[in-house]
Structure 1
Amino acid sequence: MSYQQIERMTPAAAPARVGQGTAVEQSRAVAEVQAAVLVARQFPRDEAMAIAKMRTACAQQELAQRAFFRFPRGTSNVSGETIQLAKELARCWGNIQFGVAELRRDEEYGESEMQAWAWDMESNERSSTTFIVPHARWAKGKAEKLADFRDVYENNANNGARRLREMIFTVLPVWYIEQAKSACAKTLATGSGDVPRAQRIADCVGAYEAVGITVDQIETKLGRPSAKWTDMDLGQLQVIYQSIQRGEVTADEEFPAPRVTVDEITAPAAVPDAEQSSTWPTAAQAGSGAHA
């Protein structure tokens, strides 16, 4: 092991003295935690009210549209719940604190040490994780080093949000999370509630056509014509559309262009006969008929 590796593994010594501002902040943080624990014990959560708040929140289209994510990984797609849904569920459940912090930034080795945590102040259940985030982004099959400070910040924030989501879900009851997921999926599937399904299908097709995806591509993906799309189909399409809008997945990845076989390329073009031609008159026929 080289001297540089040993030096890196050795933790930096703490400063010999603590400034007045740091001491005040440390005392304030301790007092804040003590007060939060005391309030949580004095005013315990009402689970029935928490469930009612959750159902009201999940019935909103604005939350349901941001509740799920979808992105490609290898030859498949990964989907799940977003940090926005996790934060909203923590707010509705109550007496929960959470956060993510950058503990150390190493410019020499191009990485940040970060920590994400969530704490149920009432049950005293706490979950935390410490992780290393390289100052790099995977693109074009290789890791590209990030030089811009803003890119480093956004990269740390994105990685921290994913860990924070998992920490929040760790301290929340599983049944509570599953009910919220079902409620959000139902909201996506039914839309505003008073809009007919035919109108919602038309709106869906129009939104996808605006980003260059045809109705034929959607029908191929779902395996059924648009007239037979179900509420669950519309909910799935809503999640995919929002993921495309957020840049989590591209339209080509979700709706690849159909492959053209050699036989289709070399096959001669079919010429319709008179019996199979359209019943609408051609321009020449229309012109001659006008002078008859």
Structure 2
Amino acid sequence: MSAISTRFGRAPHLATDTVLRAGPTGSATAQAAPSPAQRALILVLAVVVALVLAVSAASPASAAGKGGKGGGGGGSNTAVTYSALGDSYAAGQGAGSYLNTSCYVSSKGYPALIDADRKITLNAEPACSGDSSLDVVGRQAPLVPATTTRVTLTVGGNDVGFENVMQNCFVLISASSCSTAIAVGDAMVADGTITGRITAAVNAIRAKAPNARVIVTGYPRLFAPTVTRAYAQQVNVSTTALNSAIRTGADSAGAVYVDVEAAFAGHGIGSSSPWINDWNWLSFSAGFHPNASGYAAYAAQVKTVW
């Protein structure tokens, strides 16, 4: 049924009605019916008027459908609800523009960049700097709304002692402490601890939001391959091993894994265009975390499997 018939009723009978007009004596006399050409012209004018009215009435509704998140840009008004879980890399630490400094959640982190898409609504962001996969299971997963349709998870670095490694290998350097810290993390990767924890974290998310698509990301290699700083390339190798364990845990739980190593290639610390912040005593919280460009790369990779 057309807009014309439902909103405005039938078009006026201008083309077929006999016209009555007052004659010289004041009595009503019937004038001759319009000629065929006149009738055709009147009919065309009536149709044009009706169409103009219909378009004017439909325009506000069309405009309303394009506004706001979840608006039907492609004819669909279905919004994707999204929750972001994990550690400092999930929160956006290193990018600045922090919404808080307790968890270092940033408006430039990859969850916020994904949320900027008008068809996506970020409904929970419990990601927090310093959290491990155990924190995801115990604290973060319970905060995911049951109706969530997408969940991203970046976690595992703190499980293997990211802070201890960075501090002892690159900040307050201690050869023995650095080697020990790396060895502890490598052992957790080798014995399957990390794989099991990632699987448990995904299962905890699924228990809360059973219909959600869970997307698990890895980490970038921190240093450019040309960097000769002590322990830099050893940490890169350990990062690749950690990513492999995370992928295995995600796969076994039916989640989707997103690799970011390739995206960050050529953009590590020591490169000509770094997407990762080096250590700086004046901005120590940003050290060894992606900058805004790095998180944009994260968002782009996540969206490839969205």
User: Which category describes the TM-score, using the shorter chain as reference length?
Assistant: under 0.3
What TM-score does the superposition give when structure 2 sets the normalisation length?
Answer: 0.21
Higher relative strand content: 1
- Structure with max Cα Rg: 2
Decide which structure has greater helix share. Answer: 1
State the TM-score, normalizing by the size of structure 1.
Answer: 0.22
